[in-house]
Amino acid sequence: MVKKSLNFRQNVRKKLLIGLLALLGISSVAYQQKDLYFRIKQSLDIFSEAFSLIVLEYVDEIDPLELIEAGLNAMFESLDPYTNYFDVSSNEQAEILSRSNFSGIGIQVDKKENRAIVVRVIDGSPAQRVGIRTGDAIQSVDGLSTETLEPEEIESLLMGETGSKVTVTIKTPNALVDQLQLFRANFEPKSIGYAALLDPTGEPVVELNTDTQVLESNDSTKNELKQGVAYLQINEFGQGVNAEFRQTLQAIRQESELQGIILDLRGNPGGLLQESVQMLDFLVNADIPVIQTVGRLEEYNTRYITREDAGYTGPLVILIDQGSASASEILSGVVQDLDRGVVLGERSFGKGLVQIVKPLPFNNSMKYTISRYYIPSGRSIQSLEYAHDTNNSVLQRGDDTKYKTLNGRIVRGGMGIEPDLQVPTELLSPFQSELLRLGLVSDFVQQVELPLTATIDDELIQIMTNRFMENFDPTRLQIWNDMLSLTDSLAHSLQNSNALNANTDESLQRITDQISTLAKSNFSEKNREIEVVLGLELIRFYKGNQVWKRASLVFDPAIMAGIQLLDDLQDYHSIID
Angstrom distance (rounded) from CA 567 to CA 150: 44
| HEC sequence for 239-296 | CCHHHHHHHHHHHHHCCCEEEEEEEECCCCCCECHHHHHHHHHHHCCCCCEEEEEEEC
As a whole number, mean pLDDT of residues 368-377 equals: 94
Report the DSSP beta bridge partners of residue 180.
168
Task: Give the model's pLDDT for residue 100.
Answer: 43
User: Would you kindly state where each structural domain of the chain is located, as residue ranges?
Assistant: 2-49, 84-183, 192-426, 430-555
pLDDT in tens, 71-101: 888 888 888 888 888 876 665 555 544 444 4
> Which of 317, 355, 322 minimizes the C-alpha distance to 336?
317
Candidate from 116-120, 235-239, 277-281 with smallest mean pLDDT: 116-120
At residue 4, does pLDDT exceed 50?
Answer: no
Model pTM score: 0.81
pLDDT in tens, 476-487: 888 898 898 998
Task: Report angle CA 176, 177, 180 to the nearest 5 degrees.
Answer: 130
Angle at which helix 478-496 crosses helix 502-524, to 10 degrees, equals: 180
pLDDT in tens, 557-566: 999 999 999 9
Task: Give the model's pLDDT for residue 508.
Answer: 87
Q: Cβ(80)–Cβ(353) under 8 Å?
A: yes
Burial of 176 (0-12, 13-18, 19+ CB in 10 A): middle
Residue type at position 478: Q
Candidate from 180-189, 236-245, 250-259, 404-413 with smallest mean pLDDT: 180-189
Q: Cβ(485)–Cβ(508) under 8 Å?
A: no
Q: Which helix (H) or strand (E) holds 35?
A: helix 2-57
The secondary structure of residue 185, as a DSSP letter, is: B
Torsion of CA 180, 183, 188, 193, to 10 degrees: -40
Q: What is the pLDDT confidence band of residue 151, given thresholds at 50, 70 and 90?
A: confident
Q: What is the pLDDT confidence band of residue 3, given thresholds at 50, 70 and 90?
A: very low
Interstrand relation of 227-234 and 257-264 (parallel, antiparallel or unpaired): parallel
Q: Cβ(104)–Cβ(163) under 8 Å?
A: no
Q: Which helix (H) or strand (E) holds 571?
A: helix 569-576
Instruction: Please give the full DSSP string across 383-407, using - where no structure is assigned.
Output: SSEEEE-TT--EEEE----EEE-TT
Question: Which stretches within 497-568 are classed as H helix?
Answer: 502-524, 527-543, 545-552, 557-567
The secondary structure of residue 202, as a DSSP letter, is: S
At residue 146, does pLDDT exceed 80?
Answer: yes
Reduced to 3 states (helix: H, G, I; strand: E, B; else coil), residue 129 is helix
Task: Give the model's pLDDT for residue 549.
Answer: 92
- The mean pLDDT value of the chain amounts to 85
State which CATH number among 3.90.226.10, 3.40.980.10, 1.10.645.10, 1.10.3720.10 fits the domain covering 192-426. 3.90.226.10
Class of 84-183 per CATH?
Answer: mainly beta
As a whole number, mean pLDDT of residues 43-64 equals: 92
pLDDT in tens, 160-208: 888 889 999 999 877 778 899 999 888 766 789 899 999 999 999 999 8
Distances in whole angstroms, Cα of residue 22 to Cα of each of 17, 28, 280: 9, 10, 41
Instruction: Please give the full DSSP string across 426-438, using - where no structure is assigned.
Output: -SS-HHHHHHHHT
pLDDT in tens, 251-307: 999 988 999 999 999 999 998 999 999 999 999 999 999 999 999 999 999 999 999
At residue 315, does pLDDT exceed 80?
Answer: yes
Angstrom distance (rounded) from CA 171 to CA 154: 15
| Of 364 and 292, the one with more pLDDT | 292
Reduced to 3 states (helix: H, G, I; strand: E, B; else coil), residue 306 is coil
Which residues, other chains included, contact 350 with Cβ-Cβ below 8 Å and sequence gap of 6+?
325, 329, 381, 382, 383, 384, 414, 415, 416, 417
Q: What are phi and psi of 182, to 5 degrees?
A: -125, 155
